[in-house]
């Protein structure tokens, strides 16, 4: 029986394919086959009102200019005992795919019977960005334009442009009301790489503990980014972190597996799963600041350092070649630190970031 506990104005069943098979010469229709994905469309989620179980929904987040709905996939796994509600979100930047694989793996593995509390998983927040192969929310207004959704939360409901309304609808009708803690999954932007890396506001001890439980390579103590999901949650007194998992437009299985393990470890720490909290042998490197090294001139950048590497002030970081392959400039570490991001796309214009140090 389908749940009727939502503030749902209407629900639909999305028809994903209709096949009619004809036997040919006899002209006798031998079979007709209609395939429906019975995924309920919801306008608002109230996970508290659901009985224990596992549910999949399409959240109606907005409409495109051709009138087609923008559905955001949602999975709820609710255990028989009350506990924390953990919200997991991925792909608010549409080119960042590792987090989608992390959520899908967790959803596949975890059943409600193993769980105390509720997982609310949203593996694909930015639907226009996913389709358009872009970090940004793609608007058709104004001849086409791009907005960074992760600078627009909590968004708006009845004012503002398409991206702000999309963010506001997600925030008010799907995300905020269903979270006691939140982990927003990202990667570094296209053309660069992160290790397993967490942004966390260490002024809140609960958030610091969440960051450590995820077992990343590195953590940045960070007071937040206005308009981001993480900071919007923290402002709403919901502990949250941004969890960076490698690079964009790839599925990096080793990092995905580690992120799954980290989130399960956080769930153990939160009393949502049975088990013992793992304390990794190597503590993560924790810093409070970035030193970004930018290209002064365009060309082909050769990286001379790797992710997680410890560097000293004056160490060689990168060499830039000109269009004839001739060395143009050398870039050195401006201070001691750890390499938290390197470029993976060697073609760099002036002003593009080559290396990011955490210290
Ligand atoms: Zn991102």
Residues of the chain with CATH 2.40.50.100: 290-358
Other CB atoms within 10 A of residue 296 CB:
13
User: What tokens were used for 199?
Assistant: 């942004």
**Would strands 218-221 and 196-200 be described as parallel, antiparallel, or unpaired?**
parallel
Angle between helices 205-213 and 253-269 (to 10 degrees): 130
Whether 4 shows a pLDDT value over 50: the answer reads no
Q: Measured in angstroms, how far is the CA atom of residue 92 from the centroid of ligand 1?
A: 7
User: Do the bridges between strand 337-343 and strand 353-358 make them parallel or antiparallel, or are there none, so unpaired?
Assistant: antiparallel
Q: Are 85 and 120 in contact (CB under 8 A)?
A: yes
8 Å CB contact between 327 and 298? no
Phi-psi category of 261—alpha, beta or left, where left has phi over 0 and alpha has psi -120 to 50?
Answer: alpha
How many angstroms is it from 163 CA to the middle of ligand 1? Answer: 16
How far is the C-alpha of 120 from the C-alpha of 314, rounded, in Å?
Answer: 46
Name the fold adopted by 290-358.
OB fold (Dihydrolipoamide Acetyltransferase, E2P) (2.40.50)
Q: Measured in angstroms, how far is the CA atom of residue 257 from the centroid of ligand 1?
A: 19
Residue 170 Cα to ligand 1 midpoint, Å, equals: 17
Q: What is the pLDDT of residues 157-179, one digit of tens each?
A: 998 899 999 999 999 999 999 99
Instruction: Tell me where in the chain the CATH 3.40.630.10 domain(s) lie.
Output: 44-269
pLDDT of amino acid 38: 77
At 139, give phi and psi (nearest 5°): -95, 150
Q: How far is the CA of 87 from the centre of ligand 1 (A)?
A: 17
CA 202 to ligand 1 centroid distance, Å? 20
Tell me the mean pLDDT in the region 231-236: 98
Given a cut of 70, whether residue 7 has pLDDT beyond it is: no
Per-residue DSSP letter, 135: S
Choose between 8 and 256: higher pLDDT: 256
pLDDT tens digits, 186-212: 999 999 999 999 999 999 999 999 999
* DSSP-assigned letter for residue 49: G
* Angstrom distances, CA of residue 352 to CA of 107, 219, 223, 262: 37, 23, 24, 32
CATH of span 44-269? 3.40.630.10
Q: Answer yes or no: is pLDDT of 289 > 70.
A: yes
Judge whether residue 252 has pLDDT over 60. Answer: yes
**140: CA distance to ligand 1 center in Å?**
22
How many whole angstroms separate alpha carbon 45 and alpha carbon 61?
Answer: 12
């Amino acid at each position: 029986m389908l749940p009727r506990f939502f503030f749902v104005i209407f629900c639909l069943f999305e028809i994903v394919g209709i096949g009619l098979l004809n036997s040919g010469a006899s002209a006798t229709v031998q079979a007709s086959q209609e395939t429906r994905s019975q995924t309920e469309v919801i306008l608002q989620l109230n996970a508290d009102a659901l009985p224990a179980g596992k549910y999949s929904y399409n959240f109606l987040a907005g409409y495109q200019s051709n009138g087609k709905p923008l559905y955001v996939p949602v999975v709820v796994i609710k255990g028989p005992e009350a506990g924390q509600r953990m919200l997991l979100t991925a792909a608010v930047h549409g080119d960042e795919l590792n987090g989608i694989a992390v959520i899908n793996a967790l959803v596949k593995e975890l059943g409600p019977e193993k769980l105390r509390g509720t997982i609310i998983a949203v593996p694909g927040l930015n639907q226009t960005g996913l389709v358009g192969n872009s970090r940004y929310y793609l608007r058709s207004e104004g001849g086409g334009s791009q907005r960074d959704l992760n600078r627009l939360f909590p968004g708006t409901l009845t004012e503002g442009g398409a991206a702000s309304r999309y963010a506001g609808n997600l925030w008010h009708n799907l995300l905020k009301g269903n979270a006691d803690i939140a982990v927003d999954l990202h990667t570094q932007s296209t053309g660069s790489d992160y290790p397993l890396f967490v942004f966390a506001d260490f002024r809140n001890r609960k958030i610091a503990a969440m960051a450590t439980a995820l077992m990343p390579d590195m953590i940045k103590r960070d007071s937040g980014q206005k308009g981001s999901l993480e900071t919007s949650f923290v402002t709403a007194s919901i502990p949250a972190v941004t969890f960076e998992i490698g690079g964009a437009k790839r599925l990096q299985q080793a990092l995905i597996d580690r992120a799954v393990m980290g989130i399960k470890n956080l769930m153990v720490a939160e009393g949502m799963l049975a088990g013992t909290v793992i304390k990794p042998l190597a503590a993560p490197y924790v810093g409070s600041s970035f030193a970004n090294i930018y290209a002064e001139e365009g060309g082909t950048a050769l990286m001379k350092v790797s992710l997680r590497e410890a560097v000293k002030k004056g160490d060689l970081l990168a060499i830039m070649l000109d269009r004839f392959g001739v060395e143009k400039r050398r870039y050195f570490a401006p201070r001691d630190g750890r390499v938290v991001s390197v470029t993976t796309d060697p073609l760099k214009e002036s002003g593009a970031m080559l290396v990011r140090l955490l210290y």
